[in-house]
């Protein structure tokens, strides 16, 4: 039986996600999203990017976004090639 609830790849494999929200997060939120890079876009959106270890962690991140009261615009999992192209360590 396959595990259809796990994100892309095998169970236990971390996946890189991008979460796009409407509005800009202030610098005070950096600690709350410590494991994610925060990019403020010119169009007024914020993009959170980072590795998520499992679906429970993903739901936790989405709960934080909900608690901010900022509209969620998109959630995308990045393929291995796109994730490797991002330098997540310098984006913070």
Q: Torsions phi, psi of 51, nearest 5? A: -85, 135
Parse the chain into domains and list their residue ranges. 15-85
| 64 contact partners, CB below 8 Å, separation of at least 6 | 32, 33
Tens place of pLDDT per residue across the chain (92 aa):
333 344 444 555 789 999 999 999 988 888 998 889 999 999 999 999 999 999 999 999 999 999 999 999 999 998 765 656 665 544 44
Question: How far is C-alpha 79 from the geometric centre of its chain's CA atoms?
Answer: 13
At residue 88, the pLDDT reads 53
Question: In CATH, what number does 15-85 get?
Answer: 3.30.70.260
- Beta carbons of 50 and 15 less than 8 angstroms apart: no
| 22 contact partners, CB below 8 Å, separation of at least 6 | 44, 45, 70, 71, 73
Task: Show the CA angle centred on residue 52, arms to residues 41 and 29, nearest 5°.
Answer: 45
């Amino acid at each position: 039986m396959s595990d259809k609830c796990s994100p892309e790849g095998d169970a236990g494999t971390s996946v890189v996600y991008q979460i796009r929200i409407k509005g800009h997060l202030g610098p005070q939120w950096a600690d709350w999203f410590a494991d994610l890079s925060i990019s403020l876009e010119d169009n007024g959106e914020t993009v959170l990017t980072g590795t998520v270890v499992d679906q429970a962690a993903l739901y936790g991140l989405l709960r934080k976004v909900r608690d901010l009261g900022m509209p969620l615009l998109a959630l995308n999992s990045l393929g291995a090639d796109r994730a490797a192209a991002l330098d997540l360590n310098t984006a913070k």
